[in-house]
Amino acid sequence: MSSEPWDYKKAGLDLGKYEQTIAGIQPLLANTWAINVIRPPFPPRKGGKGTGGFASLFDLDPDAGLFRRKYRHPVLVTCTDGVGSKLKVAGLMGKYDTVGIDLVAMSVNDLICTGGEPLVFLDYIAMPKDDPPMTVQLVRGISDGCKLAGCSLVGGETAILPDFYAPGDFDMAGFAAGVVERDRVIDGRHVQAGDAVIGLASSGVHSNGYSLVRKVVFEAAGLKVTDAVPELGQTVGEELLTPTRIYVRPVRAVVNHYPVKKRVIRGLANVTGGGLPDNVARILPPGKRVFIRRGSWPVPPVFGWLQKLGGVADAEMVRVFNMGVGFVVIASPKFANSIMNQLGEEGVTARVIGEVRDGEPGVEFV
């Protein structure tokens, strides 16, 4: 038995570094706060202490800030998700300031599928030892994602777990809460035969399928993150760390454009794990089937590169990856062109990639 006394630092947790981390991330949180966020009553003291209470406060007064639209029957919308093993690529690159955007995207893109708007976001970061510069980079990405999504980063948790993670490993989870007017909820029940299926362009692989990506790229092909890929115009790491596109502003602009009684927007799907087949099928009512036309949108080069590199079958590609379509809007065909034009004005390329027909619920490629 050691004669030296034990303390927290010797056990693996350096409280001095923890305070350094807190001081570094405080301005990143405050930079995202909407007017509804009730500020902590006491300013931070030296070293990052005095950061506020034990929970965040968000004013739901219908006359305050975001609620000036006076919700008549507000419904709370909640989501949680992570980034997955894309974090391994960030570790290999030593670049941690973009995966926070992915973290926000994975939750808020789900949240808007209800027709709702994200209000607040919280994060959970776990690592084997305190690393203030790395943590600040991670939170900077989360802050950037929240600004893109128009929600407030109101808190989080940094867990130091020296016996749970190997050196260099870390994990992240995110939690989003938002609101939707009860009679504006979009849940797919109004989807009908003849509806247009509109695909919104992805920014690349997003944050799904990275267990397969890493096996193909780093193990089977033996590539490194610093290797240049001519057909992609950048290195392996740069391509694979491209952040997930956040669809909040363009999708909400379209949803809010049409009166609720017209039911122009009938279904919304975030294309994550499971690709187009699984995610679009989730919003189809009984007796309705989606037919997607192959070749109706340009598939980004990264997917052809991955398929060739790993000899991945076509069926597996569409089941694992978004293949260039990161979000789907099912809408009245009468308004399809105006919806695509509006999405284009918001900076997102969109195309009609299929239609709804009568049939067994599911997705079929034709």
- Concatenating the DSSP letter of every residue in 163-179 gives TTS-TT--EEEEEEEEE
> What torsion do the CA atoms of 190, 193, 196, 198 make, to the nearest 10 degrees?
70
How far from 126 is each of 130, 227, 333, CA to CA, in Å? 10, 29, 46
pLDDT in tens, 259-273: 877 899 999 999 999
What is the pLDDT, as a whole number, of residue 105? 98
| Lowest pLDDT segment from 114-118, 162-166, 201-205, 245-249 | 162-166
pLDDT in tens, 309-362: 999 999 999 999 999 999 999 999 999 999 999 999 999 999 999 999 999 999
The DSSP output letter for 311 is T
The fraction of the chain above a pLDDT of 70, given in percent, is 92
Scan for tokens 């997607």, then name that residue: 292
The percent of the chain in helix, strand and coil, each rounded to the nearest 5, is 40, 25, 40
pLDDT in tens, 8-35: 676 676 777 767 777 778 888 888 888 8
Q: Which of 28, 23, 27 is nearest to 141 (CA)?
A: 28
**Taking the CB of residue 115, how many other CB atoms lie within 10 A of it?**
23
Contacts of 157 (CB under 8 A, 6+ apart): 122, 123, 124, 125
- What does pLDDT average to over the chain? 91
SS3 266: strand
**Taking the CB of residue 318, how many other CB atoms lie within 10 A of it?**
21
Six-digit token string for 249: 């502003």
The better pLDDT of the pair 287, 22 is held by: 287
Burial class of residue 264 (count of CB atoms within 10 Å of its CB; 0-12, 13-18, 19+): buried
Average pLDDT on 51-65 reads: 74
Contacts of 171 (CB under 8 A, 6+ apart): 82, 87, 125, 126, 127, 165
Scan for tokens 């609101």, then name that residue: 179
Which stretch of DSSP H or E encloses residue 149? helix 132-149
Question: In the structure, what pLDDT confidence band is assigned to residue 113 with cuts at 50, 70 and 90?
Answer: very high
Scan for tokens 């709370």, then name that residue: 76
The better pLDDT of the pair 185, 58 is held by: 185
What is the pLDDT, as a whole number, of residue 60? 82
Q: For 281-299, give the DSSP string.
A: HTTPPTTEEEEE-TTSSPP
Is the model's pTM score more than 0.85? Answer: yes
